[in-house]
Amino acid sequence: MSKYLIKGASLYGEKVADILIEDGVISRIAENIDAADAQVVEAAGQVALPGLVDIHTHLRQPGYEASETVETGTRAAALGGYTAVFAMANSMPVADTAAVVEQVDRLGKESAWCRVQPIGAVTVGLKGERLSDIGGMANSTANVRVFSDDGMCVYDPAVMRRALEYVKTFDGVIAQHAQEPRLTEGAQMNEGKVSADLGLAGWPAVAEEAIIARDVLLAEHLNSKLHICHLSTKGSIEVVRWAKSRGVKVTAEATPHHLLLTDETARTYDPVFKVNPPLRTEEDVLALRQAVADGIIDVIGTDHAPHPAETKECEWACAANGMTGLEQALSIIQMTLVDTGMITWRDVARILSEQPAKIGRLEAEQGRPLAEGEPANIVLVDPKATRVIKPEEQATKGKNNPYRGMEVPGSIRATFYAGHPTVLNGELATPRR
């Protein structure tokens, strides 16, 4: 059926109305719509938002299918309310050519439960030495506009300059993983009191802040667009704030886990809490929340990073970095920012849908307003529901979830991707084909 009637939803947590979906488009929004031939979706007490867009997802395919696939990762995305995800380039082979990004694009069209937009690597093999085939990827059928070596930093300033210059020619963006490698050699967690207590090599905040400072200056010099991945420190916020005050074309993201968890979790020595960048201090967490509320941090990116059990169920020093989070992201944002009164549901739409789509150049189809004539990418969330996180019940292959056993607010009741329900009544329905 291509006709659905959402009854009694609260649009952006404000006005209550019905939403009629026909042939993939929102055809009507009004009170008490009567459409006898439409499938009814009861949504009283639920908040309707534009489908969520994740600017930072690791789908692992091709090459690391033991960790995740496009299909399993986007199943998790649909359950989290996402209608689009950007797939990071650190696959095997690395997405540094037109052929690889087109493969990811094809996998998305064939098996995904939401829109999959490939991100291209900045440098060949993520090695930071030579620029990848940026032009080829931009002109490919995947139409790549975001480039990132995420997982690795583009540490050479000359290479970074050339990358920023190149993408400027087609309105692209470089998404930087800000980590000065010489300052983080052997680092295991945030540098501070906890790392000293545990005897683990520290990862100083300045290693992130120094790269961000360098890159915003380069972006200003070149008048190019820069995006900062997973910003995690109070000092980084101030650098971005300063850059924005000067009109630099810089955007920044934070992750849900950096808005909630601190380096105190490392005292358990549980590698599920090992992540890059590391979990920081309570002071950093509170500063990040305020920066989201202030608009200094533009978007929330999950940095969903699934791993096989053997790479996490080991000693801390040997464990892989990364956490899953697509299925809980909206709940963590509700917990840390909405329920605390720092932002509204309309702000949630901005940071989890509208701005990510704009940064990734998908704004023509994703992150659109809930309005008549717009694509029917919609998520319905019950904000009063609560649930206990059980990683073994997740759709993602990765069970390395830091929220295990935590009771969180909010439940995704339905996700509509281009008018097709991928999730109904809180359960996976069918993919759109």
- What residues are annotated to the active site? 303
The answer to whether residues 361 and 145 touch, using CB atoms and an 8 Å cutoff, is yes
The answer to whether the annotation marks 420 as part of a ligand binding site is: no
The answer to whether the annotation marks 150 as part of a ligand binding site is: yes
Radius of gyration over every alpha carbon of the chain, rounded to an integer in angstroms: 21
**3-state secondary structure at position 160:** helix
> Which residue has tokens 């978007």?
299
The answer to whether the annotation marks 230 as part of a ligand binding site is: yes
Residues 6+ apart with CB under 8 A from 133: 96, 97, 98
The answer to whether the annotation marks 59 as part of a ligand binding site is: yes
**3-state secondary structure at position 408:** strand
The answer to whether the annotation marks 304 as part of a ligand binding site is: no
The answer to whether residues 96 and 89 touch, using CB atoms and an 8 Å cutoff, is yes
The answer to whether the annotation marks 145 as part of a ligand binding site is: no
The answer to whether the annotation marks 90 as part of a ligand binding site is: yes
Give the whole-angstrom CA distance, residue 371 versus residue 145.
27
Give the whole-angstrom CA distance, residue 113 versus residue 72.
9
126: left (phi over 0), alpha (psi -120 to 50) or beta: left
The answer to whether the annotation marks 298 as part of a ligand binding site is: no
At 284, phi and psi to the nearest 5?
Answer: -65, -45
The answer to whether the annotation marks 221 as part of a ligand binding site is: no
The answer to whether the annotation marks 223 as part of a ligand binding site is: no
The answer to whether the annotation marks 258 as part of a ligand binding site is: no
Give the whole-angstrom CA distance, residue 259 versus residue 274.
15
Point out the annotated binding site for substrate.
58-60, 90, 276, 307
**What residues are designated binding site?**
56, 58-60, 90, 150, 177, 230, 276, 303, 307
